[in-house]
């Protein structure tokens, strides 16, 4: 493998059963869903031991993201090499047919609640589909206390203490670690720290059809990790960085990730020299050009541009919308 030059790498999705999921991911991704049960998540870039992403095509087909990082760290990560034990982001599509649990994720500083080797979980969503019945809960009503939440759990009124709004397509929602949240109805893209630590506060008093039992709650851990100063979270205001040759909007810019939405019909540049970038196609299709080769990009595809690949030219076939994601350099 060390003799094989790196190129724009497309990864296969990893589907996950979730009782709140549905079947809409079949309309977004070309890989068939496993059976007719509820699929809530497609992990589209994952450097996790239990769910490793694998290259979908080309000379490196079948290799995991972890293998690539171990064997070619400088070529893959460039300026970021040496900073991370594993790729620092996890990317997903979520089909939230029903409500997720009311949950919270710890921050990197709450080490008492992080298993060995885990990180906190700041995350963000881009809404891809939503209807009038969709709902996002994010943040607490002002003045809510831990005792208020404990009482609400006893009388099933937790939602009364949560701020909420009806999401629209294209909304970006930023959720710092410690933010109580849930959502139901939308189809969303999610970018997050590479973490799988979730504490459920409340699960809407439902049963898991697979087990016939309620899912476990972690009430005390959730309450301990809640940022009670985090009140209502709403959609972010996109920052327009360019309008030609494509509209470039910055949606998120935090310590863990930056995300831009690129919309256009004319060729435009993606990627950057010396640092990896991630591309996610959420509408339309086109071609990515690098080193004299052409890579077809369709709706639902995710590509990692290794640092050594640098900037590439993207040629839309009609109107296209891409998400471009960067890991910030250390400040």
For the stretch 63-100, pLDDT in tens is 999 999 999 999 999 999 989 889 999 999 999 999 99
The mean per-residue pLDDT over the stretch 101-105 comes to: 97
3-class secondary-structure state, position 223: helix
307 phi and psi angles, rounded to 5 deg: -55, -40
Does 234 have pLDDT greater than 70?
yes
- Residue 1, CA distances (Å) to 10, 54, 63, 301 in order: 17, 14, 9, 24
CATH number given to 239-326: 2.60.120.10
Query: Under CATH, to which class is 9-225 assigned?
Result: mainly beta
Burial degree of 160 (CB within 10 A; 0-12, 13-18, 19+):
exposed
3-class secondary-structure state, position 155: helix
- Residue 112, CA distances (Å) to 108, 181, 189, 256 in order: 10, 21, 29, 21
Query: CATH 2.60.120.10 in the chain, residues?
Result: 9-225, 239-326
Q: Which residues are catalytic?
A: 200
For residue 281, the model assigns a pLDDT of 98
Q: What is the pTM of this model?
A: 0.96
Does residue 245 have a cis peptide bond before it, meaning omega lies within 30 degrees of 0? Answer: yes
The mean per-residue pLDDT over the stretch 49-76 comes to: 96
**Which DSSP string do the residues of 126-148 spell out, in sequence order?**
EEEE--TT-EEEEEE-TT--HHH
């Amino acid at each position: 493998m060390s003799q094989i030059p790196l190129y724009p790498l497309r990864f296969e999705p990893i589907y996950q059963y979730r009782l709140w999921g549905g079947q809409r991911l079949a309309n977004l991704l070309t890989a068939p869903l496993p059976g007719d049960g509820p699929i809530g998540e497609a992990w589209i870039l994952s450097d996790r031991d239990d769910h490793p992403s694998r290259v979908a095509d080309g000379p490196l087909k079948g290799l995991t993201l972890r293998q690539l990082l171990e064997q070619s760290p400088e070529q893959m990560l460039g300026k970021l090499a040496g900073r991370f034990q594993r790729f620092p982001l996890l990317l997903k599509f979520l089909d939230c047919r029903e409500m997720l649990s009311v949950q919270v994720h710890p921050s990197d500083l709450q080490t008492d609640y992080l298993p060995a080797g885990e990180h906190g979980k700041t995350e963000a969503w881009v809404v891809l589909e939503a209807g009038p019945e969709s709902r996002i809960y994010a943040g607490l009503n002002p003045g809510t206390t831990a005792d208020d939440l404990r009482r609400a759990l006893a009388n099933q009124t937790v939602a009364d203490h949560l701020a909420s709004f009806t999401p629209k397509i294209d909304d970006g929602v930023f959720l710092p670690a410690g933010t109580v949240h849930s959502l139901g109805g939308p189809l969303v893209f999610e970018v997050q720290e590479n973490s799988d630590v979730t504490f459920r506060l409340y699960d809407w008093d439902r049963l898991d059809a697979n087990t016939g039992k309620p899912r476990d709650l972690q009430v005390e851990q959730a309450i301990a990790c809640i940022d009670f100063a985090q009140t209502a979270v709403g959609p972010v205001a996109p920052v327009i960085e360019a309008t030609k040759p494509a509209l470039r909007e910055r949606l998120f810019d935090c310590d863990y990730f930056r995300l831009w939405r690129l919309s256009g019909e004319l060729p435009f540049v993606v990627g950057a020299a010396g640092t990896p970038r991630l591309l996610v196609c959420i509408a339309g299709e086109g071609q990515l050009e690098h080193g004299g080769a052409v890579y077809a990009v369709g709706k639902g595809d995710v590509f990692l541009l290794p640092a050594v690949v640098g900037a590439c030219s993207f040629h839309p076939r009609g109107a296209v919308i891409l998400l471009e994601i960067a890991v910030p350099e250390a400040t």
